[in-house]
Amino acid sequence: MPATPSDPGTSRTRSWWGWGYADAHPDDVECAAMGALLPGTLARPLPIPRVADLPIGRPGVLPPPSLAHLVTTDPETRAAHAMGKAYRDIIRSLRGRPGRIPDLVARPTDDQEVADLLDWAGGHGVAVIPFGGGSSVVGGVEYRGDAHRAVLSLDLTSMDRVLEVDATSRSARIQAGALGPVLEAQLRPHGLTLRHFPQSFEFSTLGGWLATRAGGHYATVHTHIDDFVQSLRVVTPAGAGTSWRLPASGAGPSPDRLFLGSEGALGVITEAWMRLQERPRYKASASVAFADFHPAVEAVRAIAQSDLAPANCRLLDAGEAALSGASHDGSAVLVLGFESATAPVEDRLATALELARSHGGSGEAPPADRDAPADAAVSAWRSAFLRMPYLRDGLARMGVVVDTFETAATWDRIPALIDAVRTEVGAAALKATGHAATINCRLTHVYPDGAAPYFTVAVAGRPGDEVAVWDDIKAAASDVLQRHRATITHHHAVGRDHRPGYDLQRPEPFALALRAAKDALDPHRILNPGVLID
């Protein structure tokens, strides 16, 4: 049946330099208060950068009249498309040192306009970088180099409709530029949901999730966007194509898998048929406190290897728990949550709590009364989870180097990996800055054979030299991950910043196949050059 487009509906202004909405950022007083918690930070926050102060030159090329209505050269729009939202991007913006600012920003509304823009760019030496919500944290939307005459940022957010819903097969055909809230608003009248909620949900698109193989918020079962893909449509300089809609197929290498995670290096994903789920009606959550982190890890493994399949199974170490307000007594905290569209989930939660208590945890199921207050630790964690990117930007204004390294490894490697990251990355931060770093750990996603530990590092940087400090810390973290055979990224993308680590973990025959695919699909070598495949 046809689907009705929804109103994207918000009058709030996006920050061109930082995360999210401009009016949600910490003010100077809050920034200073956060900075006071770490030694060596700046005396006052760095000022909010102004687009007028950036070195934005005249475009190196202009589109033909037939495409002019799709393209803008507005300085603020160009600045907002120059980088993603990684710490490295934020601090460069604050210091007035952005990378190559695109010459043009285009907003096509359909496949033909995408194809027309690619054809023009290919004939005029213009690099094209597909752009969704701009929430990239790995350098994936940034042009680096000087091999092209000009750079075009291809913003797909005008292609944001749910075009068709197949209620029988429980799937929908959705344009790739749909931001998370826009997509879900159009599915809600059908009683359906994609149920993919990364932390960037509000500021990222379906196409971005697909191109970066994004992980969602849920801890088990359907954790990555790959699980929901039924079919893709892709436009490349060599032509456009759509894979068949199938529930499963063993017919050779999957064409969808070729483009999932390709980060715009092979073509532009313009729409996809996605598998949907009924909206959950039953929910239950609780928290469990642990005096020691390592027994808590064993509790999480037991739950992951059961058949309980929690929607949330997030373990916070003592530092992470204190930062989020989930604990104030030095305890590690396990946040558990279950949901279902078809049956109550209280029994599954009770069984998970019993497993956690058998490993030394303390926690009880919430009262059955629907009007009872929510678990305080769960509520505190949820609020902090949504607020955290804004707080990171506030710390950056105080000269703090703060970033999260997310990885995944098998259970047998997890304890040694956690200890090594804390020891070696801490030593690298101390050497680079002269200050002791705060390093917190959390397990965010769990699988029967392993888990995804995420490490947040915060340390006062060298004023004006924060990117070099970030490089040193990241190099140390990457070395630890490689030695412990942990992935360079669990949750999203490789981009330019994770590229060296990715090269170490991929077999050379696979690398050769990727290069051949790019040569075949991108003969003009104009699409997002150098992100994933050289």
Active site (catalytic) residues = 454
The H or E element that residue 186 is part of is: helix 180-187
- Between CA 129 and CA 116 the distance in angstroms is 15
Residue 406, annotated ligand binder? no
- Burial letters 448-482, b for 16+ CB under 10 A, else e: eebbbbbbbbbbbbbeeebbebbebbbebbbbbbe
Residue 264, annotated ligand binder? yes
Strands of 25-77 (E only): list them: 71-72
SS3 of residue 332 by DSSP: strand
Tokens encoding 56: 């934005």
SS3 of residue 442 by DSSP: strand
Residue 473, annotated ligand binder? no
Residue 263, annotated ligand binder? yes
Residue 133, annotated ligand binder? yes
Residue 131, annotated ligand binder? yes
Residue 132, annotated ligand binder? yes
Closest C-alpha to 135, from 354, 445, 392: 392
Q: Tokens 């530092």 sit at which residue?
A: 319
Residue 269, annotated ligand binder? yes
Asked if 132 contacts 177 with a C-beta cutoff of 8 angstroms, the reply is yes
Residue 267, annotated ligand binder? yes
The H or E element that residue 206 is part of is: helix 206-211
Q: Is 384 exposed, middle or buried (0-12, 13-18, 19+ CB in 10 A)?
A: middle
Phi-psi region of 147 (alpha: psi -120 to 50; beta: other; left: phi over 0): alpha
- Residues marked as binding for FAD? 130-136, 263-269
Binding site for substrate, by residue number, is 392
What residues form the annotated binding site? Answer: 130-136, 263-269, 392
